[in-house]
């Protein structure tokens, strides 16, 4: 990880990354209360780990089967579409200024991951 990624992550954590990560962890714990919710809770923990430190990491998608497709469809019905939409709108807002473009791009990544997290994994750049 380079110096710019490190500085970007520090700024990200200060201006909302920590709070957002705590929200995802809380959602994951709530979803893990039931056995049916455990796969969704695990995805919330995956999102929390990416939200806390997104610069210098990227999202890759593997070929998904029917099971992951069904889980992604259920995830969308649970309410991920409005989270993805909020990341999209915040990303557009950040991209209005030149300084905010890196943060807007991270919100676009988070929006895609929040919309369909099953079959996605996080890798270091």
pLDDT in tens, 55-82: 988 888 888 788 888 989 988 888 778 8
| Strands in 37-87 per DSSP E | 57-61
With contact defined as beta carbons under 8 Å apart, do 119 and 46 qualify?
A: no
- In 3D space, the residue among 81, 92, 87 whose CA is nearest the CA of residue 116 turns out to be 81
pTM: predicted TM-score of the whole model, two decimal places:
0.80
**Domain map (residue ranges) of the chain:** 3-124
Query: Cα(first)–Cα(last) distance of the chain, in Å?
Result: 8
CB atoms within 10 A of CB 50: 23
pLDDT at 25: 92
Band (pLDDT 50/70/90 cuts) for residue 1 is low
Band (pLDDT 50/70/90 cuts) for residue 33 is very high
Q: What are residue 60's DSSP bridge partners? A: 121
């Amino acid at each position: 990880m380079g110096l710019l990624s490190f500085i970007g992550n520090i700024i990200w954590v200060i201006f909302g990354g920590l709070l957002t990560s705590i929200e995802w962890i809380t959602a994951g714990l709530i979803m893990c209360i039931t056995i049916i919710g455990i796969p969704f809770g695990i995805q919330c923990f995956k999102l929390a780990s990416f939200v806390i430190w997104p610069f210098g990491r990227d999202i890759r998608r593997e070929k998904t089967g029917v099971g992951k497709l069904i889980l992604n469809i259920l995830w969308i019905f649970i309410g991920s579409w409005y989270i993805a939409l909020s990341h999209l709108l915040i990303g557009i807002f950040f991209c209005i200024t030149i300084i905010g473009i890196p943060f807007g791009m991270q919100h676009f990544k988070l929006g895609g991951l929040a919309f369909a997290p099953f079959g996605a994994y996080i890798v270091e750049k």
